[in-house]
Chains A and B, each alone.
Chain A
Amino acid sequence: MNRRIFLKSTLAASVLLGMGGCSSLSKEYWLPTGDLGIVIERADGKVALVNTSQRKKLAEIEGLGDLSHASAVFSRDERYAYIFGRDGGLTKIDLIGRRIDRRVMQSGNSIGGAISQDGSMVAVSNYTPGGVQVFDSQTLERVLDLPAIGKNGKASKTVGLVDAPGHRFVFSLFDAGEIWLVDFSSGEPKVTRFEDIGKQPYDALITPDGRYYIAGLFGEDGLALLDLWHPEKGVRRILPDYGRGEARLPVYKMPHLEGWAVAGNKAFIPAVGHHQVLVVDINTWQEIDRIPVHSQPVFVMSSPDSRQIWVNFAYPENRHLQVIDADNHQHIQHLQPGEGVLHMEFTPRGEEVWVSVRNKNEVQVFDTQTFEKLATLPVASPSGIFFTARAHRIGL
């Protein structure tokens, strides 16, 4: 049964949508957005709009450019998604209009972004020419161009950009080995730099409460930790020697860190160059355990109830998916959904997980209790999956 209400477009609606220069009247699809989500169709520059309760693909939105490694954040009203494309495109998608609202080419090459605490700004981190650009989330007009020139005087690629409480953005400089904190609380951006935080920070996470920012290091063992309640204490190194004395295995895909990897008082983090998931006590920041896993972990994600940790792997072992019990660190499931398992996204309360299986052109939906496959959606070269519930989570 189709519950959509098709609103006939009116001139007023098109004015409200702010489509300056768009003369045609556009259709709107008035659905509650709380159970919507998007899936990046990386090969075709498209985004699939999905309904997470019906497990259905509703529409495809085209014209987003190179979407390899694309990610997304949502406006707090859950109407708009901001997609960060590899080619430097920042695209604002209207989930009600099912079309592109606005799009700007903001750099030559970007890697990800974040939306501010109040939803008024969207920040994008860039590889080429490096640095961070900040945009008005309504108009996509640029409000700040922040080149990331490190202590070494060179422009740096930026990674691990997240929003933090207090109208702040935090990101890391891959080439320069620094963490920068940009504070917008006074209206004017104020930048605090933390230098020499470690070699080649490759990604970062912020804990779900917005307190700790943790950057993973590729160039050496360990992670860099910044307490955002006490930035004056500076950045400290944690797990400095997790791989000491062991030869590093080749890393065929950079691991990712996301806010979801924190479960209760533990953080679960992919080891770099070791087939292990590291477990850290976030009260003491001491290592508790190393869980052996199938191969080089890429995403290590906690279910919303913090009970399960889902892990996918780098090429050529990316057909595997392992599930670990966050309580006792035992393996509880080993799935093989198909070649190219790129990303997982839990439904808001975690009863299901959606999995991108790139080479099979499928998104598979699993029950997180029985591990039964509940649905298969045809989606071309799916990568990132993003549900609108992210709109209300710090760091996502």
Chain B
Amino acid sequence: MAKETVSAGPLRGLYKFFASITLTITLLLVLAATSVIGTLIPQNESPEAYFRAYGEIFYRIFSALKIFDMYHSWWFQSLLILLAMNVVVCSIDRLPGVWKIVFGVRSRFKAAKFKNKPGKTEFLSTEPPSVVKAVAESLVSKSYGHVQVKPTRKGFMIFGEKWRWSRLGVYIVHLSVVLLLLGSVIGSIFGFDGYINIPEGETVDHVRIRGTGKIYPLPFKLRCDDFDVSFYKNGAPREFRSDLVIIENDREVLKKSIIVNDPLRYAGINIFQSSYGEMQAEAPRPAAVSRPEEIVLSLTVSETGMLYQKKTRIGKPFDLPEGLGKFVVTDFVPEAKFMGQPIGEALTGILTPAGGQPVEVTLPLRFANFDKMRKGRVIISVLEPSAGKQMMPVPGKKKRFYTGLEVTSDPGVWVVYSGFILMLAGCFVTFFMSHEQVAVEITAKGKKSLVSVAGTAYRNKMAMQRKVQRLSDKLAAGTKAV
């Protein structure tokens, strides 16, 4: 008990903080302002590119603030979490009151509420109150679902009300915001985003994760039977098409041709056409170079951008510059392959980072930038021996393509899509359906009646004034006003 009273103060303060719309406005504007940064500074480029573009000092500042991947940084995500907490607490705070308005017993209309409403009209009808009442009742019930008639001392009051449930629209919008955030969290925890290049005719069973480059095993095998690209007369591409086959337990379970905008979906995994390339024809030929005696490597340190050269031999370990660990070239491979694709001659080696696990590294002679993909702290490429001549396409042989596929899985997408639907529905109800009430007061004036019409609306009050005017005009026309 004692504990509770002690914590009630700060908790109450916290609750108030999160229930405030000032916080909402602040968060929305701060999110807008900070989002601008990531559109001015390109995201997820290589560290060297940033280093070159911004220089050392800014590179270090930006990098500490996670500006280079800011939308996934802890501070940006915290803003989103704050917004989610804000919307949840605010709804918990207000919903009970609105719930009562919408589902509670209808309050007895009070004439006083309409007394000084702007747009109130008044006219004198030549009909007695009972006749005016009948006309007014039928007019009001035409546009208002709920009608009450109340006799007064010298006449009648007629009340109409509609769309009180539209007050829930805002809560549907707010629920949808929570669903969007929740769905994206589910996607980032349980989903993946990978890519793979498959040469025509070949089969793969894994993809590479975008960003980290890690291998992700697929629960099936994927074969590409054919790839085709067609062009318009002006040379722009018209369509990319890959004929894919899914193989499970050595059985072909699904065949489909995919094009851009029409992916293959199987076992919760989506496969999209994203790029393509032409394979160099594989002509049988002797290796351009044999096992080299002497090797010259170039070493680029990513963080500092410094470039080093190192002469070495196969099997001779050496220390990497700047204390980054050890490296040894282990072998020469004349026909190396990478993800099923021939990459020509290559060296293999073992890199042992300072205080880390040894990793195997492939260094193709023809692709100097190949090792960048590893995103390591040091990038290694081979200067000597140099690669043999470019492989020549063999005449008469059909060009061979590989297809570039985007392979993703996102179990959160249905939560996000439900959020989309709720957001549109909620906005529609909130913006275009307003909780309205009208009151017609009829008072006997001798044999005639004094009639006044007034109304209130939860939103769009000026449109309500026009509605009141129209109702009043119709009523006046129907009851011989003078």
**A interacts with B:** no
Binding site for B on A (CB under 8 A): none
Which residues in B have some Cβ–Cβ distance to A below 8 Å?
none
